[in-house]
Amino acid sequence: MGETATGAGDPTEPAETVEPTGPTEPVEPTDLAGPAGPGTSTVRLATGVAAVVLAMLAGFALGRAVTAPTSIGTQYAAGAADHTHPPGTTPHVHGAGTDGGDGGDGGDQVSGLSVSVGGYTLAPVQRQLPVGDQVDLRFQIVDADQRPVTAFDVVHDKPMHLIIARRDLTGYQHLHPTMAPDGTWSVPVRLAAAGIWRLYTDFTLRDSGGTPVALTLGVDLVVAGEYLPTDLPTAADTAEVDDFTVRMRGVAQRGVVTPLLFEVSRAGRAPTLEPYLGAYGHLVALRDGDLGYLHVHPEAELVDGAVKFWLTAPSSGDYRLFLDFQVAGEVHTAEFTVTVD
């Protein structure tokens, strides 16, 4: 169902440099004039030094000549090509390892910390929104030449997944904007409280070679007014949303792939979970402090009635988990705080 994107990836890192070959010591010239005269040793020394210098310069030039950039598709293809999620699939994180500046613990797993990655940039039309009013939030994804990208793969039933949360990890929203022919995306948004909000765009496109590239780009939005931050709720393995109780089983661990299962009940009975966006649940994890983003997906089938995910915590600290699930055509979001030692 994917289409070919208009933008091409930028080079990101050089290929291995080929070392120069040939003699490592100067070859002395053949003496055709007979016995050596005065100054001959000096001439031979100068000739040897010149040969070494020329060899080094030649090797440097050769290395520069054969250095070829790696395409964006080659860099990201490992985690972006398969979105079928058969039973037993381990988690993939959209945009994993693509943020360029995510170094340190979890730098190869969190995303959404950069507004621009691999030549693609999130360009919002407006960065400041009014408090409490519904407005159309508009943005584009532009390539390295500032051209709007207009072709995206449909992943989990949508070409674009939009996540919004305030910096204190409240006000979570998972939205699906629509795109105009000129590449401008728009979606109605209401941000109920003043503060700094983080906007994530989670999408997949194709590079110039046709390789799927999964990216998550992020940018801050400003809602003017008095900012009253909310403390992060304490860690718990149950959450209440509407008239549902959601229980989480499993312990997230740093650097280890572990299962997390979510059991949904209502009045002590298990409701019928319905597929939402092609899955029985969607889980977004945001890391407290920098709001590093992880978006993982569950096994294709329920496990003893529970939605099962595989998650790797990229670092120690607190995370806020947001689980979307659907019952009777209505989507609900359960929220958990998880502390990783």
Question: Where do the H-state alpha helices sit in 2-114?
Answer: 40-66, 72-80
* The residue to which tokens 């390892």 are assigned: 97
Distance CA 74, CA 339 (A): 35
Same fold, 72-223 and 238-340: yes
For residue 161, the model assigns a pLDDT of 97
pLDDT at residue 65 is higher than 80: no
Q: Is residue 110 pLDDT above 70, yes or no?
A: yes
Q: Which amino acid is at 2?
A: G
Q: Given this model, what pLDDT does residue 284 score?
A: 96
Identify whether the C-beta of residue 310 lies closer than 8 Å to the C-beta of residue 101: no
Helix (H, G, I), strand (E, B) or coil at 57: helix
Identify the pLDDT of residue 60: 31
Residues 6 or more apart whose Cβ sits within 8 Å of residue 83? 153, 155, 156, 204, 212
- Confidence bin at 104 (pLDDT 50/70/90): very low
With a cut of 60, say whether residue 64 has pLDDT above it. Answer: no
Superfamily classification of domain 238-340? Macroglobulin (MG2) domain (2.60.40.1930)
**Residue 178 has what pLDDT?**
98
Q: What is the pLDDT of residue 90?
A: 41
**What CATH number has the domain spanning 72-223?**
2.60.40.1930
Q: What is the pLDDT of residue 318?
A: 97
Q: Give the start-to-end residue ranges of the domains of the chain.
A: 72-223, 238-340
Report residue 83 CA to chain centroid gap: 15
8-12, 156-160, 323-327: segment of lowest average pLDDT? 8-12
Helix, strand and coil percent figures for the chain, each rounded to 5: 10, 40, 50
The pLDDT value recorded for residue 296 is 81
Confidence of residue 208 (pLDDT cuts 50, 70, 90): confident
Question: What's the pLDDT score for residue 49?
Answer: 37
Q: What is the pTM of this model?
A: 0.71
Q: Indicate the range of 66-80, 85-99, 127-141 predicted with least confidence.
A: 66-80
Whether 28 has a pLDDT exceeding 70, the answer reads no
What percent of the chain lies above the pLDDT cut of 70? Answer: 68
68, amino acid identity: A
Q: Is the pLDDT of residue 276 over 60?
A: yes
Model confidence at 67, pLDDT cuts 50, 70, 90, reads very low
Tell me what the mean pLDDT of segment 190-215 comes to.
95
- pLDDT of 52 over the 50 cut: no
Q: Does 19 have pLDDT greater than 60?
A: no
Mean pLDDT score, 61-81: 30
Per-residue confidence at 15, pLDDT binned at 50, 70, 90? very low
pLDDT of residue 295: 79
Q: Is 289 helix (H, G, I), strand (E, B) or coil?
A: coil
> Can you give the pLDDT at residue 39?
45
Place of tokens 């090797």: 59
| Contact yes or no for 277/331 (Cβ under 8 A) | no
62-71, 182-191, 196-205, 286-295, range with the lowest pLDDT:
62-71
The yes-or-no verdict on residue 287 having pLDDT over 70 is: yes
More confident residue, 163 or 105: 163
Taking 70 as the threshold, does the pLDDT of residue 29 lie above it?
A: no
User: What's the mean pLDDT when you consider all of the chain?
Assistant: 77
